[in-house]
Amino acid sequence: MKSNTELLLNDNWRQVLDALDDGVTIYDRAATLVWANNKACEILGTPREQMIGLNISEIATLPTVATIQTTEFGGYSDRGIDDLRRIRRDLASYASPGYMVFKNGTRMLYIGKIIPDSAGNPLYAVFTQRDTSALDEGRKRIAELEKLTNLYRDQLDILHPVKNAHSVVYASSSMQQILERASKVARMDSTVLITGETGVGKNLLATYLHRTSARAQGPLIHVNCACLPESLIEAELFGYVEGSFSGASRKGRRGLIEIAEGGTLFLDEITELPIAMQAKLLSVIEDHTVRRLGAERWQKTDLRIIAATNRDAEELRAGRVMRVDLFYRLAMSTIHITPLRQRTDDIPPLANHFLMEFNEANGTNLSLHPALVEAFTTLPLPGNVREIKNLIWQIALEYTPDSDPLMQVTIPPEAAQLLLAHDQDPRAALHTAAPHPSSITETRSENAVEAAQLRSLAECCGGDVYEMARQLEVHRTTVIRKLKRYGIAYARSRRGVQL
Task: Please name which of 432, 305, 306 lies closest in space to residue 364, comparing C-alpha atoms.
Answer: 432
Give the pLDDT of residue 419. Answer: 53
Give the pLDDT of residue 424. Answer: 46
Report the residue count for the chain.
499
Domain 4-131 part of CATH 3.40.50.720: no
Separation between Cα atoms, residue 306 and residue 289, nearest integer Å:
17
Residue 178 dihedral angles phi and psi, to the nearest 5°: -60, -45
Separation between Cα atoms, residue 465 and residue 492, nearest integer Å:
8
Name the pTM for this structure.
0.53
Give the pLDDT of residue 207. Answer: 92
Q: DSSP states of 306-342 as a string?
A: EEEESS-HHHHHTTSSS-HHHHHHHTTEEEEPPPGGG
What residues contact 222, with CB distance under 8 A and at least 6 apart? 203, 206, 266, 268
Q: DSSP states of 192-220 as a string?
A: EEEE--TTSSHHHHHHHHHHTSTTTTS-E
Give the pLDDT of residue 425. Answer: 46
Residue 296: Cβ within 10 Å count: 7
Q: Which ranges of the chain have pLDDT less than 50?
A: 1-2, 7, 73-76, 158-166, 403-412, 422-429, 431-445, 495-499
Are 158 and 271 a contacting pair, CB within 8 Å?
A: no
Task: Classify residue 270 as exposed, middle or buried by CB count within 10 Å of its CB (0-12, 13-18, 19+).
Answer: buried
Give the pLDDT of residue 442. Answer: 44
Give the pLDDT of residue 244. Answer: 67
Separation between Cα atoms, residue 142 and residue 144, nearest integer Å:
5
Give the pLDDT of residue 444. Answer: 46
> 65 by DSSP, 3-state: which?
strand
- Identity at 268, one-letter amino acid code: D
Task: Please name which of 101, 5, 10 lies closest in space to residue 53, comparing C-alpha atoms.
Answer: 5
Sign of CA dihedral 477, 478, 481, 484: negative
Separation between Cα atoms, residue 250 and residue 200, nearest integer Å:
42
Give the pLDDT of residue 79. Answer: 56
| pLDDT per position as a tens digit, 397-431 | 766 655 333 233 444 455 555 555 544 444 444 54
Task: Please name which of 191, 181, 188 lies closest in space to residue 329, comparing C-alpha atoms.
Answer: 191
Sign of CA dihedral 438, 444, 445, 450: positive
CATH tag, 145-338: 3.40.50.300
- Domain 340-437 top-level CATH class: mainly alpha
Task: Please name which of 200, 34, 62, 263 lies closest in space to residue 126, comparing C-alpha atoms.
Answer: 34
C-alpha torsion 200→363→486→406, nearest 10: 100
